[in-house]
Structure formats: structure tokens, C-alpha cells
Chains A and B, each alone.
Chain A
Amino acid sequence: MAKEPKRAPRPGLVLDVDRSTPPILFHHGEGFRLEKLPAGRSRVIYAAEPLPGIPDPDGAIREALANPIGESEPLHALLTPGMKLTIAFDDISLPLPQMTKPDVRQRIIEAVLDLAAEAGVDDVHLIAALALHRRMTEAELRHAVGDRVYDAFAPQGCLYNHDAEDPDGMVIIGQTPHDEDVQMNKRAAESDLIVYVNINLVSMDGGWKSTATGLSGYQALKHHHNPATMKASKSFMIKEDSELHHSNWRQGKVLKESGIKVFQIETTINNNTFGDNGPMSVLQKREWEWTGRDRASFMAMNTGLKAMSARAKRTAFQSWKAPYELTSVQAGEVEAVHEVTTANTLKQHLVPVEGQTDILTMGLPYICPYNVNSIMNPILVMCLGLGYFFNMYRNKPLVREGGVLIMSHPTPWEFHPVHHPSYIDFFEQVLTETHDPVEMSEKYEKQYAEDEWYRHLYRTSYAYHGVHPFYMWYWGSHALEHLGQVIIVGGDTRAVQRLGFRPASTLQDALEMASDTVGPQASITHYHNPPILMADVT
């Protein structure tokens, strides 16, 4: 049960750095840096404090299922005996980090299953809508849906991971007016109803992206997961400005018109990533408000981390479960639901920022959507910085065109051999030749996407699809085009150079290097994330 907050959460803020500003926290993989930013020309953007969670999540969920938004009947009215029901849910990439038990998905799925049981529905499949992500392990599935659901469905083969490369398991639904193929998991497509269970961590998630992407495959995804689309999505976090979303919505329309019935359940969570108390809570506080105890616990944590091996640090961080709380749940027709969801997401994330900056700094944390229980390899570092964080803006990018992005991350030359096999080859084969998303897509994408071995690993082991590293790189297309220079502080020199970026050992060096591009008195903005925030740049 969520506690009553002591006081109303404060909104996000932009702090101008002066001489009295203490050193600022930079996330740095499985560690942290405290950096003194130049006074007089720097500012720091802080996230809003976590919005209060719904006191009775299960009640709210039941409420939402009974009172749908948009043109939809209540869920119980859609459930009939003998029907084919498919419950699809967001995969391991959400939320980040994984949340404490019970997971929102578990709450919703249990509620949906209760209604299904009442209505006498017995043909129910549960599918992790992972598109081309890696399959979830048993433990991960158990965490997402709960042991009760897992034990009831998995042994019968009714709870499983989506397989976009199953030759008998995928169907083509049609084409959009833009000649984009629409493809879907066959079981889902042939169901009388798809109930989609979503967690909206950032405003990109949800809507038609849930079904048109999550239950789809390469044949459909290649139409919007490509450099041209990503360059035209400014940013891909805002549906209206995102060609990625336009394409997904076109595909969604084809789904709808083909008679596929989707009952969309979307949720939003607050940004209580590190908790109000406990060892990590200091990461969520503003530095000048750190108490003596916060300081001590931060020092202790940093000292402890220094003594740990990289593996041990990774294990420790990956075991952290965020105490996220449900802030809203809405169900019904996809587009109407998503409108409300987006508004609720932005309520937590948006921070107004005036004007762009010459230099944008960010500390990259240990996790991104594709390394849960895994390793954040150099390609994922690029994707998190230039893909996700860079695009966390509305209106215009935080950094001006031709400006410099400075990221802090150890960027180790390390890869998970089971999860990211095609990444390893991409790093050795593609990035040694080109950093240009267009060139690599033309020359290598098809080869990786259709490779039998990667296909085999994706289907039978726990590997991301062969084409996935390309998508990671495309995710940064807009930033690559926009930025004048990218510098990584504290990274493995060889790995950073392989990415086509410049390595710097300290932030001071990085700022010095940046002055080549933007001059010595350039303005600096630090994007203080996580907890997640989105800059509303005017």
C-alpha cells in the first residue's frame, strides 16, 4: 500500500549553477560521479518529485475495466464463453528498473483473468509482446505475471514469449496506404479479443505501439525502425512529432479495420525509481538538500562500489527493484486510452526549460530497456544517450544544432554472449566500417535480420533478434545528425572510439574538447536523469 506523501510533490526545476552550487551527481553506469559544473554558464534540470500513487490499485483497475474510455464496452461485456482470448503484455524492457512485486502487469492480468473466469472463457493465452527483444526467462515471467498466473498457464503452454520468427506463428494482416506491411502474432490475430496490458514508463510507450509493434515481426517493423523514420521523429517521445508513431498508428488502423479487436489497458507509474528512504534514495534528491546522513550514505555506497568487481556491481544494481507506484490506469479503445495515458505520463515528466544549450551533459545509468539482467554494452550506451535521453524533449532538442553532447558512462568493452550475440558481431564487423545509419542499413541490415543463426538464437535461446543492434543505432539517427560532437567521459577508450565518439577522462577535459566546437564560454545544461524527466523546451 502506498503511503500518504508528507507534502505535495514539487515540480521539476531548472537550477542555474553559481559558486555556491555543490557538485552535481552524474550517473556513471554501475557507479556515480560528482561533478562541479562551471558557474555562470551552467544549469541543471531536475525531475519532478514522484506523484502520489493510487491508494487502491486493484480497485482502480477493476474500475477501469468496468468503465472503458472511447468506443468500447466494459471488459466483462466483451468476454463470452467459448471465445478465444489473448492477453498480451509488455516485456522485460518495462519498467526500468523492474518494479517491486507485485508488478502492475500481475495486478491487471489477475483482474482480467478473474473476469474471464466469471464469463466462462477457457481458451486464454498469455503472450509476452516482445517483438524482436529477447525471450523472457522463467524467473522474469514469474516476476511480471506472478507465480499464480505462471503456474496456472505456463505448464499448459498457454503462457509464452512471442516468436516473431515462427514461420507458422505469424500472419500478414495487410498494408497501410504507405505500403507498410502489417504483421501480427497468429494466435493474437485469430483471437476474438486481445487484451493488451501496458506499463507506460515514458511517453513513447503504449497506443498502437503495443500491438502493432509488440506482437509484430521484422517484416512490419522495418517500415518504421529505419534511419529515415527515426530522423523524421523529433522527438520520438512525442506522438504528434514522431514519424515512428505515425507509422504505428497507420498499422494500428489496418489492424482495427481488419476486425482485430483490442481492449487496451494502459497504466502510468510515478518516477519513484530509488525510493524515499533506503540506500538509493539519495539519488533522487537535489544535491543542495542532501543531509549529513545522505552524504554519508552516498560516500559509503561509492566506497563500497569501488571495492567491488564489475560483475558484483552489475549483480547488485540489477537486483534493485524500483518502488514505482501506479498513478493511473485506463482501459478501452486504444487511441482514446492512449490520449489519457500520455497526458498522465507527461504530468510526471515534463519540466519547462527555456532555450537550448551549447553543451548537453548527462550521466548514463546502469540500465536501459535492453540490458535488464544483462550487460550495457557500448552499442546500448550509444542508444541510451543518443536515442532515449537525447529524445526526452518536446518542441526542440535541449542542445542546439551543432552542439555537443557529453555523456558519462564507463562504456566497457563487454557484451552478454547469450543476450546480445549479434551485437558482438555488429561491433566487430559493422562499426569498424561505418557509423552512418543509412549506409549500414543498406549494406548490412538484411544480412543480420535474415541470418539463420541469429534467428535460431532469438527463437530458442535468449538472444535479441539479429537486426536489433541496427535498431539501436537507428535510434540515435536524429541525434547523430543534429550534434556537432559526442564525448564520453570515463569510458573505455577503444570502445568509445569504435562508436565514433571521443573519449575524455574527466568532465573538465570533455568541456575543454567541446570548446573546439562551441567555443570557450559555451552554455552547459545537465540533464539530471533518472529519475525520468522530459524537457519541454521553449
Chain B
Amino acid sequence: MIPEQLAGKRIAITGSTGFLGTALVERLLRCAPDCELVLLVRPGRRGAEQRIKREVLKNDAFDRLREQWGDEFDAICDQRIHSYAGDVGTDGLGLDQAGLNALASCDIVIHSAAAVSFDSPIDLAVEVNLLGPVRVAQTLNELGVKPHMVAVSTCYVAGSRRGAAPEEPVDDSPFFVDVNWRVEVDQARRARAEFESESRTVARLDAFRKGADDELGAAGRPAIAAKTEQLRSRWVTEQLAEAGRARASSLGFPDSYAYTKALGEVALAETRGDLPVSTVRPAIIESAVAEPVPGWIRGFRMAEPIIISYARGLLKEFPGVPEGIVDVIPVDFVVAAICAVAARGPIETETGKPDITQVASGSLNPLRYIKLVDLAQEWFTANPLYDDKGQPIAVPEFSFPGRGRVQKQLERAGKTLDRTDKALSMLPLRGKPAMYTAGLGEQREQVARAKGYVDLYGAYAECEAVYGLDRLIALWESLDADDQEQFTFDPRIIVWDDYVPEIHLPSVVKAGRVKTTPGAKTGPSRQQRLRGQVLDPNRQLAVFDLENTLIASNVVASYAWLASRQLPERDRARFVARTIMEGPALLSLDRQDRSDFLRYFYRRFEHAEVEQLEAASAEMFSDLILTKSFPAAIRRVRAHRAAGHRTLLITGALELVVKPLEPLFDDIIAAGLGEKPITSSGRRVYNGQLTSVPPTGEARYQAMADYAAQHDLDLREAVAYADSASDLPMLEAVGFPVAVNPETKLASIARKRGWLVELFGKSPGGPRKIIPLAPRRTT
């Protein structure tokens, strides 16, 4: 019956790129062969049609249809699917005339677009979840058409309550706190404006700036500015999410999603006029029992990250009431119910409000929290995940603590890690210890994420509402046998003992891309793959920093060496002591701004004789530079040349210091020292001033970019090696950044972004120079 009822119908769908939407499109194409679909989709960068093709039709949900239709798949889709750019977040749905015409021609409109994230900023949740359905109805009314509108909502509009939650309008519930949705909309929009202005106050901007400094260090003004702005806008988003959570909770909802969905229902009922509307309220949608294939799931959704975190041993406890109900409903059941509602058409209710169908399992076939945990524990014990050393991970035993206790535990862990992280990041670490610190940052993020889950989903695990399913069952019983087979949605037939271990958990594990086989990894490691990419002949340019990337030395050391070369024996000790005393001050100046430091420091070369220094520099190459060099780094430079890449050294070191490195690179950009006018004695003497901006921070990026432009090289095909966060502008600009012996800040950035990290070391056993003094000149 359902296929016949839908035959010849045009069905508009919003939210078709989502989890539910994708399954709905697939089911309608496959099981209602004579309907056409009008998909309203945000165009993104590629346009509506391309998005549908790439994000919906390429999904593995369509594998079954592809097989069934073979070569005709594309043709049938082209014929039956019409995609239009639209956005439920804007008035008029953002449709152009063609889109409006298409919408006007529809018999049924299924509105499933939503901001499903539980921590969306309140204004976004309001625009999409609250105003979305209102806008759809309004547009239809303005078009003067009366299709059957099926609005997808959620069971959780009933709020955090215990006991029965029947299929009744939100505002008919005795527990509903009556608020004016229009005021809520205004306030949400105002909140955005207010946080935007607060984020621009002096105090806030200073704090963001400091945060950017802490994260990036001396990365140069532009990089710091970009980071500051990013932190500011992230702060606004966080504040709005927090505001949503607070407002939802104040009205008795678990989160802003349920809150905005609930008010959305109220608003739609109020503004729909005589548009026929049916509301479908699913509970927690999870992987499919059978359609299109058992276990089908899209994206990494609500329960999945929790399950995976549990299986990896990260989430040791999760709050909840053992006998509480986890109201899970497979996605194919929800899809089937929507199809049945759409096929049946609107029905009159006594109150004149839209009819409501809840799709849930709790009241008829409850899955208890304790059962879910038992099943998961059993399954993961039999099918453990493996850590990166190939050892199986044992899953923890749940003790069903209260939410407060878990939150406190996680907070404590987070704070400890925070403090350790902060203490470690103050130390001048680099290389392995820095990477360890970066790993700590990752742990901290995991704890933060676990805490996020608890904050967000804890309310659901503790929710003890039981959703009434009378209308759903009535609808089910009105179906004939064929429909019941093709459009199954009776929650009573789900066997949790089969569904959880045999369908759901395997599909979650698959979607989670986790290690499920024992033993060490075979095949090339991630490092090896990245190294392969870096040395690929298609790369065009390899840029290297000098200090701590190629050699374990710095401008102070080479200055000390050069200066001590000319000193008589008795002055050497004094010179060493003075340089060591100055160390901390120099270091802190360097941290603040590298180019200021270099300018200041190079002034010491004023009055130095050019020829004398050049000769000394040649000796220093063997005595200091090569002694402190990283052979693997030098080999890497040479490997790049062998691969046909151009190699470039960009350094704040002096030209005369790096001159002996010329044969290693195609080109060198270094700091040049100016000379004084030649005196009567004919001696060439340095004036201690730099001839150009020292290539550090963004100037280093600029030097690289100019060089690339000059030689017609593509930065996307460039590799850059550097050791410090001050090199971020350069690293971020290239397609293949490599962090070499990174200091703490760069280590954590590299780790987060998955950059190649190389730990190059000095030749083991090589001569050690504790104080960079030149051997005394004897001739």
C-alpha cells in the first residue's frame, strides 16, 4: 500500500545529507519506485547537485541500489532526484524561483534538517531547530500550496522528566514551562550580539592575545593576530553554546537541542495556518537493523564516541541509573515510520494541533542501561580493541556512579594534566621530551572530551521518561502485511541481545576506525608514509631552518666562537663568564621577538674586521658547525636535491657563518651585515647593522614566498623544516611542513595537525663542545 500511496507523488526533503535524511532518500528511491524527490540542500562550495551526488549518493547506503540498478543507477537518480540550493536557516529558505517552483509542486514535505549537535551555539540552534520548521511552513503558505508537511522532531522535547511522556503537543504537557518562543528567538540573537561585543573589549582581546602568545610563542605578528581572532570567535561560540545549555536546563530540557526542538514544535503549530502537519519524534537514532544493510550508520554520532572511548579504556565511568532506559531506535525503523506517516497523510486531532507520532522503544521493549553495558562489556572482552603496541585493551567495569562524581573525577584529572602541561611548557624542552609534553596535551584533550560526553549525554543516560507509542502502534497495525515487511517499525520485534552485539557494536567499531587486530602494525608506518610524501619527486622546494634543524647551535654560540678566536688567553675566562651571565637576558629577548634580538645581538660585530672573520668562519665550520650538525638532517637536504627539489636555507644566522654550507643548498637566505666605509688603512670593517630584515617569523615566510614566486615554485608542493613555533608562518604556508626536534609549542601543534616530526640528533660519540670557544690561534 505505501508504495502505491506514494506513487506519482513529489516529496520534498530537507536535511537529506544527514544520517536520517540519507537513509530516507535511499528508502524512498528503493521502496517507493514511482515517487520523485525534491532535495533542498545548502549549496556549500560545490553547489546543491554536487553535494547530493558526493555526500549522499556516494554513501554506502546506496550500494544496494547501485547493485540492483547497475548501470542505470545514475540515470534513475538524475530522473527522480531534483536538487535545489536552500537553507532553513534563512527566511524564504534561500530558494531561487526554480527552487520555489519545485517546492510548490510537491505533495509532501519532509522536514528533517536540524542542528543535531547537543552543544550548538544557542543562536544557531534557534535559527535551525526553532525557526526552521516555521520558515518551511511560512514559505509553503506564501506559495499558496498545502502539501502534507512531516516535521521530524525528537522524543526529548518532553524534557527531563520521569515517567510517561505521551504523544501529545509539547505545550499540552503539564510540565511545560510556558515561554514565548518569539522572545526566545530575540534573546538568542541578542546573546550573539552581546558576546560579540564582549569579545571585543580590551580585557578580552588582551586575554585572547595572551592565549595566542602562549600557544604560538614568537610566531610573528600576523600569525599571532590570526590566532587571536580564531580564539575570539571560538570564545563567542563557546559562550553561546554555554548559554544554550543554561537556558535549556533552566526550562527543564537536557540540552539546547531538545529545548529548541520543543519550541520549534510550538512555533510550527502556532504559525502553520491551515497547512496539514504531522510530527514524527524519534528517540536516539542508532544503526540500522536491516535496511539498507544491517548495521548501516552514517557519521560518528551520539553514542558512538562514548562506546569507542569506553572500549579504548579512556572512559572508565559513565553516569547513569543501571535500570534506566536507553531509548534507542534503529534508523531504518524511523525511516519506515516517516514513510508510513507520509503515505497515510495528515489526520485530524481533537485539539486541532498537528498529530504526533513517537518512534521509540522504551515503553514497549526497553533496553536497560545495565543491559547495554553488560552486552558491550561482553562483546569488547571477546572482540577487544588493540593499543598501538598491538596489545588488547581490557574494558573497565562500570560502577554506575552519579553524574556529579564522574564530572568531579574528570575535572580533577583535567586540572592535574593542565598544571603538568603548563609547568612542562615553561621548560625549554625540545625533541623527544617536547613530543612527550605534546602527548600529555593529547591526554588532556581526551579527558576534556570524556568530560564533554558526560556533560552532554549524561542527562540522557539519566533520563527516565517513558515515551508513549500508541499512535505508532496504531499506525503499525493499520499496515497490510506487505507494508509491514517492507516498512518495519514495530519496536517490539527488536531483540536487543542480538542487535547490540551483532549489529550495532560491530558497526560502531567499523565506523570508529580503531585497531581491531592484534600485533604490531604491518606495512609502512605513518612516519614512513609522510617521509615518502616529503621526498616525492613531485615536490618542488625544500626549505630548511638552520638552528636546531640542521645544527644544534645558535647565533650566540657562533658569536662566542668567533669572538674568542681573537682573544688572548687571559681574557678568555672573563669573556666566557660574561657571555654566560648574559644568557638568560638574551634568551628572554629572543623569546619575545627574534628579529629584535638579532638586531640587538649583531651590533656586537661592529668594528670586527671582515677578512679576519671570514677566515675564522671557515675554521668554525669544522670546529663548531659540523661538530654540532645533525647528519640525518644533512642527509635529508641531500635527499631532496637528489629527488630534484630545489633546496633553500633560510636563517637568521649571518651570511659569513653559513657560507661554508653553500654547496649543500641551491640557495641561502641569511642575515647580511653591513660594512663601514673603508678607512685610510684599507681595512674592511663591519658596522654591526643588518642590511635587510632578518628572516624570522613572518619575514621568513615572506622570504620563502618571494623565493618561490621568483622561481615559479608552488608552495603547496613545498616542504619546510623548522624547529620552533616562531617558524609557524612558514610551516603553515607549505603543503608539507616538518617539525624537526620541535620545542614544546611546535611539538603540540605538530602532533595535533598530524605533521611529520623528525628527531634529528648529533652524531653519537662526536666531540662535545660545552662552551663554544675557538681553539687559540697560534699563527
Contact = CB atoms under 8 A, between A and B. Distances in A.
A375 B622 contact: no
A417 B631 contact: yes
B626 A418 contact: yes
A154 B762 CA distance: 33
Contacts of A375: 765-766
A138 interface: yes
A456 B660 CA distance: 9
Contact of B663 (A151, A417, A421, A453): A453
Interface in B724-779: 762-768, 778-779
B629 A460 contact: no
A107 to B, nearest CB: 22
Contacts of B634: 421, 453
From DSSP, what is the main secondary structure of chain A's interface residues?
Answer: helix
A151 B778 CA distance: 10
Given A418-B626, A425-B631, A460-B660, A412 B765 contact: yes
Contact of A424 (B663, B763, B768, B779): B763
A461 interface: yes
Interface string A447-462: 0000111011100111
A415 interface: yes
B9 interface: no
B621 interface: yes
B638 interface: yes
A413 B663 contact: no
Interface residues of A, number: 28
B638 A424 contact: no
Interface string A151-173: 10011000000000000000000
A452 B663 contact: yes
Contact of B764 (A138, A413, A452, A453): A413
Nearest to A421: B631
B621 A460 contact: yes
- With most chain A CB atoms within 10 A of its CB, the pick from B622, B660, B768 is B622
A240 to B, nearest CB: 40
A417 B627 contact: yes
B660 A416 contact: no
A343 interface: no
B635 interface: yes
Interface in B604-625: 618, 621-622
Contacts of A429: 635
Contacts of B763: 414-417, 424
Interface string B75-87: 0000000000000
Interface residues of B, number: 23
Contacts of A413: 764-765
B627 A425 contact: no
A154 B779 CA distance: 9
A381 to B, nearest CB: 13
Nearest to B622: A461
Nearest to A459: B663
A296 interface: no
Interface string A407-447: 00000111111100100110011000000000000000000
Nearest to B638: A453
Given A414-B763, A417-B629, A453 B664 contact: yes
Contacts of B626: 417-418, 421, 457, 461
- With most chain A CB atoms within 10 A of its CB, the pick from B627, B629, B767 is B767
A375 to B, nearest CB: 5
A413 B621 CA distance: 24
Interface in A153-212: 154-155
A412 B638 CA distance: 26
A311 B618 CA distance: 26
A507 B16 CA distance: 75
Contacts of A138: 778-779
Nearest to A138: B778
Nearest to A309: B768
B766 A415 contact: yes
Nearest to B632: A428
B618 A460 contact: yes
Given A413-B764, A456-B663, A418 B627 contact: yes
B779 A418 contact: no
Contacts of A155: 779
B621 A415 contact: no
A521 B451 CA distance: 70
Nearest to A413: B764
B695 to A, nearest CB: 23
Contacts of B635: 424-425, 428-429
A308 interface: no
Given A452-B663, A453-B663, A460-B660, A415 B767 contact: no
Nearest to B778: A138
A154 B627 CA distance: 25
B638 A417 contact: no
B208 to A, nearest CB: 45
- With most chain B CB atoms within 10 A of its CB, the pick from A310, A424, A429 is A424
B553 to A, nearest CB: 12
Contacts of B638: 451, 453
Contacts of A425: 631, 635
Interface string A503-535: 000000000000000000000000000000000
A155 B629 CA distance: 30
B229 to A, nearest CB: 44
A461 B621 contact: yes
Nearest to A376: B765
Nearest to A373: B767
Interface in A441-491: 451-453, 455-457, 460-462
A461 B635 CA distance: 17
A452 B641 CA distance: 11
Contacts of A452: 663
Interface in A371-423: 375, 412-418, 421
B551 to A, nearest CB: 10
B778 A417 contact: no
Given A416-B766, A453-B638, A453-B664, 9 more contacts: A413-B765, A414-B766, A415-B765, A417-B626, A417-B766, A418-B766, A418-B767, A421-B634, A451-B638
12 contacts: A138-B779, A412-B765, A413-B765, A415-B766, A416-B765, A417-B629, A417-B631, A418-B627, A425-B631, A425-B635, A453-B663, A461-B660
> Closest 4 interchain pairs by CB?
A414-B765, A417-B763, A456-B663, A461-B622
